[in-house]
Homo-oligomer: A and B are copies of this chain.
Amino acid sequence: MSEKPLNTPNLQDIATAAGVSTATVSRVLNSPADVRPAMRERVEAQIRALGYVRHGAARALASSRSFTIGAVIPTLESAIFASGVDAVENYLAETGYTLLLAVTNYDLQHEYEQVQALIERGVDGMILVGRDHDAGTLNMLERQRCPFITTWTYTEEAAHPCVGFDNADAARRITAHLLELGHKRIGVIAGVTEGNDRARERIIGVRTALRSRRLKLQEDCLIEKPYDVGAGRDGLRYLMSLPKSKRPTAIFCGNDVLAIGALLEAQHMGIHVPDDVSIVGFDDLPLAEHLSPGLTTVHVPSRRMGISAAQYLLASIAGESPATHNELPTDIMVRGTTAPPRR
């Protein structure tokens, strides 16, 4: 009959109700070990009774820690990014952090704005994707002393903390697999390269593999497509429409979504994979192994990458000095979509 929680209670209300100071309440919340058990319980009882929930803004203002981490990714429409974010969120939740998520739609200018928005929200650290960024973006991060790490790309000499892998080399390796099977004319259905270093580097990897065999990528065998299944289908149809002498016997797709499209379109057209044409992808989506034939692709450890990035950030915030350059392995998953060229 006497409780009137008209407004949501604050530290002071709890303190009053428990007959202690706000400092004590703050302590049972943040360093319970520092307060005598009896008193702690008394306070905790009131916290429960009044349904107290911390005021993050006030906390952040007073302590300059928000217990939030920001992630800025190209899109959530890509299962592989979504999966990485899922891993990040799960990991952060375990450690008491919350995720602020922003999407760039592969627009570097928009990325800049999103990064600013997250900094304004006071994130304690930030995860970025790739190394293509507006100069101002990295600048802001540094001026604001916001710890950050880039993902999905790795090079020894990277100027900033990163966790990822060598896209060019992975593409080179899976192309080498094609070349070893005896293919000489390789087609490429690349992802959009603008503002996307990963897509560009994967093409470079294909070229490197070809060059090492004194082969070249024919320019009409390279086509750039947006990230969707239909585009993959279009890409395949285009490549297969090339005159026989220029028609590739194997196709490297910049990602699995394009590869799945290419594979499905081949089946629609009655073109046999891998007998008539070999297809490889990149990412190793969960679906890849279930297709028939199974898609030969590059496995990318997106969850591990996300977790590793989060770990770096938390360690960094904690004042530790974790390794800044972290390379993850990528395996070539050889499945059913590759075989020697028909002769």
Contacts and interface: CB of A to CB of B under 8 A. Distances in A.
Interface of A: 5, 8, 51, 53-61, 66-68, 75-77, 79, 82-83, 85-86, 89-90, 93, 98-103, 105, 110, 113-114, 116-122, 140, 143-145, 228-230, 233, 260-261, 264, 267-268, 286-287, 290-292
Main SS class of interface, A? helix
Given A56-B122, A264-B290, 19 more contacts: A5-B143, A8-B143, A8-B145, A53-B120, A53-B140, A54-B120, A67-B121, A68-B121, A76-B76, A76-B83, A76-B89, A77-B83, A85-B101, A93-B102, A99-B102, A229-B286, A260-B287, A260-B290, A264-B292
A59 B66 CA distance: 14
Contacts of A89: 76, 101-103
A130 to B, nearest CB: 18
A184 to B, nearest CB: 30
Contacts of A101: 85, 89, 99-101
* Copies of this chain held together in the complex: 2
Contact of A60 (B57, B102, B290): B57
Contacts of A110: 93
18 contacts: A8-B143, A54-B120, A56-B120, A56-B121, A57-B61, A66-B121, A67-B121, A68-B100, A79-B79, A89-B101, A93-B102, A93-B117, A99-B100, A101-B101, A233-B290, A261-B290, A264-B291, A264-B292
Q: Which of A56, A57, A61, A287 lies at the interface centre, i.e. has the most chain B CB atoms within 10 A of its CB?
A: A57
Given A56-B120, A290-B233, A140 B103 contact: no
Q: Which of A56, A60, A90, A229 lies at the interface centre, i.e. has the most chain B CB atoms within 10 A of its CB?
A: A56
Contacts of A55: 61, 120, 122
